[in-house]
Amino acid sequence: MEIEKVLDAKMDHVKSDKVIAAVKIGSDLRYYLGKFMREQGYVEVPPVIISPLTDPLNHPVFDPVINYYGEKYSLTKSMIFHKQIMVQSFGSIFTFSPNIRIEEAERSSTGRHLSEFTQLDVEKRGATRDEIMSMVEEMITGLFRYIREKDSELLSKLGRNLQVPSKPFERIKFLDAEKQYGKDFETVLSKKKTEPFWIVDIPLQQREFYDRESDTDPEILVDMDLVYPEGFGEAISGGEREFKLDKIKERISKKGQTEEQFKWFVEFARRGLEPSAGFGIGIERLTRFICGFKRIEDTHPFPKVPGEFSL
């Protein structure tokens, strides 16, 4: 690796007009999202960076582990468990959570994966999926209106005509979409649609154990994904959470995992959890969509692209 060439390339990236515009727009969208959540009565909580408890995810990633006073701590892949625990005390919470997901190198080809990113993580005690989806639609439409006005000059320089979508967003059931368009239905629909849309009622094996199974439709989760149009792909993943101890243990077993892997969360559940629902939205993906960028690395001065070296 030639240090001079690397440094020259990184400096060109940091100084590029696209990155400068994206960082400014990203700053404004963080401001709006924080303000929106507070106006909804949510409390901002601090992020968790390392923990013996983190999201198992439903796809393979490398798992860096820190040995800390004899205990193994992982870097946070998402704050899903910490959200579900904190919401018991605070009711409605949000955080801008740094997430580390050391993705496999082939993920770089998607243009929408980073191994280090920030997620607006939201959770509300006692909420239903429908309530959360309605709030998200208010958040997205309000944000797009704000950015269109606040950053009109930047958007114009980027050649981006950002449209404010109409509400309510379209809802499509996972199995219906898969039946009509095949396994890659999300990509097909994302390219076909001109406004954000929801994928709902996701099969159990497609998600982690912490999302709640339907009371009336076994093997289907009370989940939702928001998908960007124009081929930009997934925006949000969320849903209602399993909160009953017996169901949590059953779901861990169904995923082929062990209670020992999630012993800290199991013990919290044993002490009692109230139902909640929430979501996470990637800030860099959101910025990418707003800016209309082909590649997500243009949203960050120091992007961690899977399989590539970065400062």
Q: Of the CATH numbers 3.90.870.10, 3.30.930.10, 2.30.30.60, 3.30.1200.10, which one belongs to the domain with range 3-299?
A: 3.30.930.10
Per-residue pLDDT of 260-299, as tens digits, reads: 999 999 999 999 999 999 999 999 999 999 999 999 999 9
Kindly list the distances between the CA atom of residue 4 and the CA atoms of 9, 25, 94, 300, 304, in Å, as whole numbers in the listed order. Answer: 9, 30, 41, 21, 19
d(CA 79, CA 83): 6
Closest CA to 275 of 128, 146, 77: 128
Question: What does DSSP say about strands 71-75 and 65-68: parallel, antiparallel, or unpaired?
Answer: antiparallel
Can you point out the beta strands (E) in the chain? Answer: 43-44, 50-51, 65-68, 71-75, 92-100, 116-125, 170-173, 197-203, 220-228, 233-240, 276-282
d(CA 278, CA 81): 12
Give me the pLDDT at residue 9, please.
83
- Name residue 227's beta-bridge partners: 197, 234
Would you give the end-to-end CA distance of the chain in angstroms?
13
CB 293 within 8 A of CB 142: no
Closest CA to 6 of 209, 308, 281: 308
- Name residue 51's beta-bridge partners: 74
Per-residue pLDDT of 225-263, as tens digits, reads: 999 999 999 999 999 999 999 999 999 999 999 999 999
pTM score, whole prediction: 0.95
Q: What are the mean pLDDT values of the chain's consecutive 10-residue runs (311 residues total)? A: 80 93 98 98 97 88 89 94 97 97 88 95 98 98 98 98 97 98 97 98 95 95 98 97 97 93 95 97 98 97 91 84
CB 279 within 8 A of CB 271: no
Kindly list the distances between the CA atom of residue 302 and the CA atoms of 73, 191, 271, in Å, as whole numbers in the listed order. Answer: 25, 28, 42
The domain spans of the chain are 3-299
- Name residue 279's beta-bridge partners: 122, 238
Closest CA to 269 of 49, 95, 53: 53
Half-sphere exposure of 29 (CA within 13 A, CB side): 30
For the chain, what is the mean pLDDT? 95
